[in-house]
Amino acid sequence: MTLALGIETSCDETSVAIVETSANDERTRVHCNLVATQFDLHAKFGGVVPEIASRAHLQKLDLLVREALEETGVSPADLDVICVTRAPGLIGALLVGVTAARTLAWSWDKPLLGVNHIHAHATSAAIELDAAPWPAVALVVSGGHTSLYAVQDWDNISSLGATIDDAAGEAFDKVAAILALGYPGGPIVDRRAAGGNAAAVEFPRSMLRGDSLDFSFSGLKTAVLYEVHGRGRTSGGLDGITDERIADLCASFSQAVVDVLVAKTLMAVRKTGAKTIVVGGGVAANSALRRELAAACERDGVALHLTPMRYCTDNAAMIASHGLRLFERGHRSDLALGASANAAE
Ligand code: KG4
Ligand code: ZN
């Protein structure tokens, strides 16, 4: 049995998890996954304020570590490794987690392992599966990232493509802001789309021509602005816009995002020859994406593993789970581990 403590502080969720793997099977067992959201602190600003995020992580993190140990009855001596998100994310927020993990590893005399947050999203669908699903194409769709990866194994992940501007979740959040629906926008747009007609407005599907696996969503956001305020106008009131029209706009916008995500993910499957798709990140909670990917995979005979909803948004279980597999394969970080805002590190 190998036991990890995981710490995640890359953005606006402070999270601590205790996760176990066993030599007898390939399953990862999550003993606890505590998430303290900072939602209320940032909501009035309409987005995450980095300085406020760092301070809130500082206030919460040691309490969560203590709570996780008490709740599971695990003592520091039982742990085999401390795993922490080291990149990418808000640098101040990352540094809170990395500094805490370095301190715990030093004072408890345990190995330390820095984990790439996006790689952890890419493998989060494997948490609680009976067997690892690799090789697979991984689609990571979150507020900060939209990326495709070829995953050969936990420590063999290569990038196939990524967004060149906005992330998919960012586009959802911006469209919600345009329509004054609230923050974070993804879940609200998803809910409003359920009552709308996805064919009401023909929004652009960017970068579908050619064989690039990169994405672009900023043009789509501008198209929504023009649709709401009139051609060439990026501001104005929302007077006279009915609930029905909002539902149609949400459904048509969601469809445009989902069409691109599904088409490119299947293109990645054809390019790599993989027979499995895994999907992680906050936007993996989107109902249209889940539905349409399932239909496409059924049609093409591809296996699909969607990350369980509780591991879609930022959480430490995916950090500990990914870190444990790296640890088992011999990876270690030294106590001088640093943090980086950069996705490639
Ligand atoms: O992975 P995550 O928690 O944070 C990042 O690492 O970015 O993802 C948050 C993003 C937000 O942009 C949020 O609006 C989006 O995921 N999101 C959704 C849904 N639930 C969350 N987007 C579309 N549909 C949803 N149901
Ligand atoms: Zn994330």
pLDDT at position 136: 98
Q: Which of 250, 283, 290 to mutate to test the pocket of ligand 1 (most atoms within 8 A of CB)?
A: 283
Nearest residue to 68 (alpha-carbon basis) of 34, 36, 37: 34
Query: Does residue 46 surpass a pLDDT of 80?
Result: no
Question: What is the rounded CA–CA span in Å between residue 232 and residue 222?
Answer: 9
pLDDT at 231 > cutoff 90: no
CA-144 nearest atom, ligand 1 = 7
Ligand 1 atom index nearest CA of 176: 14
Distance 244 CA to ligand 2 centre (A): 32
Domain-embedded: residue 63: yes
* 178 and 268 together in one domain: yes
Is the peptide bond preceding residue 204 cis, with omega within 30 degrees of 0?
A: no
Lowest mean pLDDT among 204-208, 309-313, 319-323: 204-208
**CA-proximal residue: ligand 1, atom 22 (nearest):** 186
Label residue 31 by pLDDT band (50, 70, 90): very high
The CA distance from 245 to 196, in Å, is: 8
Looking at every residue in the chain, the average pLDDT score rounds to 94
Are residues 156 and 301 both part of a single domain? yes
| pLDDT score of 47 | 78
| Domain harbouring 179, CATH code | 3.30.420.40
* 272/287 same-domain check: yes
- Residue 237 pLDDT greater than 90, yes or no: no
Q: Which atom of ligand 1 is nearest to the CA of 191?
A: 26
Q: Angle between the 185-193 and 287-300 helix axes, to the nearest 10 degrees?
A: 70
Pocket test for ligand 1, best of 14, 116, 172 (most atoms within 8 A of CB): 172
| Residue at 2: amino acid letter | T
Residues 78, 41 share a domain: yes
* Rounded distance from Cα 328 to ligand 1 centre (Å): 30
Task: Name residues contacting ligand 1 (CB within 6 A).
Answer: 11, 142-144, 169-170, 172-173, 184-187, 190, 281-283, 285-286, 313-314
Q: 75 with 192, same domain?
A: no
Q: What is the pLDDT of residues 178-228, one digit of tens each?
A: 999 987 799 999 999 999 999 999 999 987 778 899 999 999 999 999 999
- 37 occurs within a structural domain: yes
pLDDT of residue 58: 95
Least Cα distance to 88 among 113, 112, 117, 114 occurs for 117
What is the distance in A from the centroid of ligand 1 to the CA of 283? 4
**Proportion of the chain above pLDDT 70, given as a percent:** 99
Tokens, residue 84: 């922490």
pLDDT band for 128, please (50, 70, 90 cuts): confident
What pLDDT is attached to residue 286? 95
Whether this model's pTM surpasses 0.85: yes
Distance, in Å, from the CA atom of 330 to the CA atom of 91, rounded to the nearest integer, reads: 27
Distance between CA atoms of residues 64 and 37, nearest Å = 12
Q: Which residues, 6+ apart, have CB-to-CB distance to 71 below 8 Å?
A: 32, 34
User: Mean per-residue pLDDT for 273-287?
Assistant: 96
Question: Do 124 and 172 fall within a single domain?
Answer: no
State the DSSP H helix or E strand holding residue 182, giving kind and residue range, or none if neither.
none
CA atoms within 13 A on the CB side of 300: 21
Do residues 176 and 191 share a domain?
Answer: yes
142 shares its domain with 274: yes
Task: Give the count of domains, the chain.
Answer: 2
**Predicted pLDDT of residue 82:** 98
Q: Is pLDDT at 235 greater than 90 in this prediction?
A: no
Residue 186 lies in a domain: yes
Q: 118 with 223, same domain?
A: no
- The two three-digit tokens of residue 172, written as one number: 């959802």
Q: Which of 142, 173, 290 to mutate to test the pocket of ligand 1 (most atoms within 8 A of CB)?
A: 142
Q: Which domain holds residue 80?
A: 2-128+313-328
Ligand 1: which atom is nearest the Cα of residue 280?
Answer: 1
* Residue 336 resides in a domain: no
Distances (CA, A) of 237 to 19, 45, 175: 49, 20, 14
Helix (H) or strand (E) holding 86: strand 81-87
Answer yes or no: is pLDDT of 339 > 90: yes
Token pair recorded at residue 215? 């994405």
Lowest mean pLDDT of 37-46, 122-131, 209-218, 219-228, name the range.
37-46
